[in-house]
Structures are given as structure tokens and as C-alpha cells.
């Protein structure tokens, strides 16, 4: 039987202190898994639901079966810490103009050929995971407070796979008034979201394509679990924004882009921001050119035609392409110049001209 949330919480101190002999870095028993009499375990953290034999790791390579129990290898093993504008996540309708204390550990449950952070997300077989020091959740929260950040962002790599660590941080962060943000591929399980829901305030989900074959061939995953996670997060009241990196010859067909926009409107709501970003050759995908700007313009037109009210074009320098406008009267509410933000048309969460409520969280204009 999979351990329940109450049991996990009750055994938190024991989980923190456990460290199987001869397994450096494995200090924390994982959550959300089932143990079987034959020694195998089944992880229920993400959409892969990996069956893991003794001594083996899951797809993410940071969760390992040791003696019939599942351990997370990345707890506290911070590989990246930065203070970022919240707009860099990108989140444009979540406390705009504030900063997010951003952290990551090694690893990912995807194998995207165009990964921009592949140096820290793509773990080689046998790669050492432990870093020089373990950073405690308390230290992360204290650092975020010292930096004056409004939120903590779990980002750069896939936060789902360092769930236990993120959970412990998020719980402490919420108690101090800090918000919690995931920048994610959306491949988490419903079980995981059910546990994290009380502490996750917002997420930007990378919807990489809208074709199953693209996910299978280029990502090593499936499309449906991502769509399911988006719908579930919406139901849980988590503020959502969606990003699609538009790649020539892979997901730039107008029909596919229209399918993405239609899904966002029908399942997540027309006020859900859609970030369409320009691709540049990187990692294992250097055989394609950068996305033509005209393709991004057409994608934006398609989104507007389908009823989306807030569409942003990333990785291009086009005046107004990242401004937030009133969905009723068109008044410019937030102007963005790179990561410089000017809030000029919002008062008490409403457009100063027509009074329309501005969709989002923390859109006060204060």
C-alpha cells in the first residue's frame, strides 16, 4: 500500500535521519511509492509511475530502490540559487514586478532534445549527485527573506523530482508569508498534487506540443498526463500560466498551435496567460533554425482568435509583445522592457480606465 499523507507527516523526522549505509547523499526516504514483496518499488510521484528494482533508479535518476525502500538522492543538494524577477519564470500575472528566490537540484524526468539547462537537468548514468554541502529548507527560506523576495520558485530543472525537499521548503515558506511557485513540465501525478496543493500558489507549465508522437519521440513522455495536471491544478485553485516553445518543423503547424490555444481556453479559461517563445538551436537540436518571428506573430493571432486574452511573445524584441493590456478596453496596464516592469494602469486590482478586474494574483498596482 502507498503511504498516506498522514503517515508521511508523522514519519517526517525519521525520514530526515535515515541514511542507508554506503549510500552517500541518500538521507531521505522518498514519499509516494509502494513497496512489493519481491523487493521492487513503484514510484507514484510523476506520470512515469516507474517500477524500480533493487539497486536501480527511476527515469529521473534521483530516486533509488535501496533494500526495498525508495530514497531520494537530491534532497538538499542545491545546484543553483538565484534571485530572479518573477517575469523570468515567466509569470506575468503573479505579483508582477517582484522577485522570486529560485532554486534547483540536479535531474529531470524528461529528455527534451532542446533543453536549455541540460548541463544540470540531464544526468548521465553513474553521475555523482551530491554537492559540497546540503542546504536545509530553513536556510532556503531565510535566504529568500533576506533577499526581500515575494516568492520561492522551484525552477531551472524539474521541481517534481525533488518534491520532498520542495514540500518541506514550501511549508516553511508559507508560514512566513512567502508564496511558492513551480516552473514545471507538468508531468506530476495527481497524488503529488494532492499533497502539495496547500502550499503551491502558482505554476508555469511548459506545454511542449499538442501531439502524442512529439512527446514520445522528443521528450520521452506522454502528452495526456501533462494535460491532466493542468486541469487538476486549475481545479485546485493554483494560478496557472502556460508556455509553448515554438520549434520549426516540430510544433509550429498552425493547426497544432490552434489546438493548444483551444485547450487552454476550454479547460483553463480565457484569462490564462499563454507565453509563446522563440526557439534557438541548442543541446541536441542544432539542426533547426531559430523560429521566424512571423511564426510567433501568427501563433499570437491564433490564440486571440480562439479567445485568449493575454498572450505574450518571448525571446524577441518587439515593442508591446510582453505588455499586459486590459481585456475590455485595451488600456496598457503593465509595460515590460526586458525584465524592467512598469505598472501604470492598475489600481486595487482593476483597470484605471474601465474598472475591469485584472486576472491574476497580486495584481494590485501597489
The SS3 of residue 104 is strand
Of 176-180, 188-192, 274-278, 361-365, the one with minimum mean pLDDT is: 361-365
Considering the domain architecture, whether residues 103 and 218 belong to the same structural domain is answered as: yes
Considering the domain architecture, whether residues 334 and 252 belong to the same structural domain is answered as: no
CA distances from 154 to 69, 113, 120, 277, 300 (A): 26, 22, 14, 20, 28
What pTM was estimated for this model as a whole?
0.93
Q: 185: burial class by Cβ within 10 Å (0-12, 13-18, 19+)?
A: buried
Q: What is the pLDDT of residue 194?
A: 96
CA–CA dist 195, 28 (Å, integer)? 17
Q: What is the pLDDT of residue 205?
A: 98
Considering the domain architecture, whether residues 112 and 252 belong to the same structural domain is answered as: yes
Considering the domain architecture, whether residues 157 and 180 belong to the same structural domain is answered as: yes
CA distances from 81 to 60, 139, 205, 262 (A): 21, 12, 20, 36
pLDDT tens, residue by residue, 47-67 = 999 999 999 999 999 999 999
Report residue 186's pLDDT band, with 50, 70 and 90 as the boundaries: very high
Q: What is the pLDDT of residue 207?
A: 98
Strands in 130-269 per DSSP E: 151-154, 179-184, 202-206, 239-246
Q: What is the pLDDT of residue 338?
A: 87
Considering the domain architecture, whether residues 210 and 347 belong to the same structural domain is answered as: no
Q: What is the pLDDT of residue 317?
A: 87
Considering the domain architecture, whether residues 89 and 64 belong to the same structural domain is answered as: no
pLDDT tops 80 at residue 131: no
Q: What is the pLDDT of residue 123?
A: 79
What's the domain range around 29? 5-72
Considering the domain architecture, whether residues 192 and 142 belong to the same structural domain is answered as: yes
Pick the last residue of a domain from 16, 48, 72: 72
Q: Maximum Cα–Cα distance for the chain, whole Å?
A: 67
Considering the domain architecture, whether residues 171 and 279 belong to the same structural domain is answered as: yes
Q: What is the pLDDT of residue 364?
A: 87
Considering the domain architecture, whether residues 132 and 264 belong to the same structural domain is answered as: yes
Pick the last residue of a domain from 316, 334, 356: 316
Q: What is the pLDDT of residue 3?
A: 56
**Residue in this structure with the C-alpha cell 520549426, named with its chain if needed:** 248
CA–CA dist 74, 66 (Å, integer)? 15
Considering the domain architecture, whether residues 38 and 139 belong to the same structural domain is answered as: no
Q: 330: burial class by Cβ within 10 Å (0-12, 13-18, 19+)?
A: exposed
- Greater confidence (8 vs 92) lies with 92
CA distances from 335 to 89, 324, 341 (A): 17, 7, 6
Residue 273 neighbours by CB under 8 Å, 6+ apart: 92, 93, 241, 242, 310, 311, 312
Number of domains in the chain: 3
Report residue 24's pLDDT band, with 50, 70 and 90 as the boundaries: very low
Considering the domain architecture, whether residues 15 and 91 belong to the same structural domain is answered as: no
- What percentage of the chain carries pLDDT values higher than 90? 87
Q: What is the pLDDT of residue 124?
A: 75
CA–CA dist 151, 170 (Å, integer)? 10
Considering the domain architecture, whether residues 208 and 336 belong to the same structural domain is answered as: no
Instruction: Give mean pLDDT, residues 207-226.
Output: 98
User: Cα 254 to chain center, whole Å?
Assistant: 25
CA–CA dist 288, 286 (Å, integer)? 6
Q: Residue 364: which of 83, 150, 132 has the closest Cα?
A: 150
Instruction: Give mean pLDDT, residues 245-272.
Output: 98
Pick the last residue of a domain from 72, 88, 105: 72
CA–CA dist 291, 316 (Å, integer)? 10
H helix or E strand, kind and range, residue 350: strand 350-351
Beta bridge partners of 62: none
Amino acid at each position: 500500500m502507498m503511504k498516506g499523507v498522514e503517515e508521511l507527516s508523522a514519519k517526517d523526522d525519521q525520514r530526515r535521519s535515515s541514511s542507508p549505509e554506503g549510500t552517500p547523499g541518500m538521507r531521505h526516504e522518498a514519499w509516494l511509492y509502494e513497496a512489493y514483496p519481491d523487493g521492487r518499488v513503484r514510484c507514484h510521484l510523476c506520470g512515469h509511475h516507474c517500477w524500480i528494482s533493487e539497486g536501480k533508479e527511476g527515469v529521473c535518476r534521483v530516486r533509488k530502490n535501496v533494500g526495498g525502500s525508495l530514497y531520494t538522492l537530491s534532497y538538499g543538494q542545491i545546484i543553483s540559487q538565484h534571485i530572479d524577477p518573477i517575469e523570468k519564470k515567466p509569470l506575468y500575472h503573479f505579483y508582477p514586478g517582484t522577485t522570486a528566490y529560485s532554486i534547483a537540484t540536479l535531474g529531470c524526468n524528461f529528455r527534451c532534445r532542446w533543453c536549455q539547462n541540460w548541463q544540470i537537468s540531464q544526468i548521465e548514468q553513474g553521475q555523482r549527485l551530491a554537492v559540497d554541502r546540503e542546504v536545509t529548507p530553513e536556510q532556503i527560506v531565510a535566504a529568500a527573506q533576506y533577499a526581500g523576495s515575494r516568492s520561492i520558485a522551484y525552477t531551472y530543472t524539474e521541481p517534481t523530482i525533488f518534491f520532498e525537499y520542495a514540500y518541506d521548503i514550501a511549508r516553511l515558506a508559507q508560514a512566513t508569508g512567502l508564496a511558492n511557485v513551480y516552473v514545471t513540465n507538468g508531468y506530476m501525478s495527481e497524488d503529488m498534487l494532492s499533497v502539495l496543493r496547500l502550499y503551491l500558489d502558482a505554476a508555469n507549465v511548459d506545454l511542449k506540443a499538442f501531439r502524442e508522437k512529439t512527446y514520445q519521440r522528443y521528450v520521452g513522455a506522454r502528452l495526456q498526463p501533462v494535460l491532466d495536471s493542468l486541469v487538476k491544478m486549475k481545479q485546485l485553485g493554483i494560478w496557472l500560466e502556460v508556455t509553448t516553445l515554438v520549434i520549426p518543423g516540430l510544433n509550429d503547424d498552425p493547426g497544432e498551435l490552434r489546438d493548444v490555444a483551444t485547450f487552454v481556453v476550454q479547460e483553463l479559461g480565457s484569462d490564462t496567460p499563454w507565453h509563446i517563445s522563440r526557439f534557438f538551436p541548442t543541446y541536441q537540436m542544432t539542426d533547426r533554425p531559430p523560429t521566424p518571428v512571423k511564426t510567433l506573430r501568427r501563433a499570437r493571432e491564433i490564440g486571440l482568435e480562439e479567445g485568449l486574452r493575454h498572450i505574450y511573445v518571448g525571446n524577441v524584441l518587439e515593442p508591446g509583445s510582453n505588455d499586459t493590456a486590459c481585456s475590455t478596453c485595451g488600456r496598457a496596464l503593465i509595460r515590460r522592457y526586458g525584465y524592467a516592469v512598469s505598472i501604470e494602469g492598475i489600481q486595487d486590482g482593476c483597470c484605471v480606465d474601465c474598472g475591469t478586474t485584472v486576472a491574476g494574483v497580486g495584481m494590485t498596482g501597489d
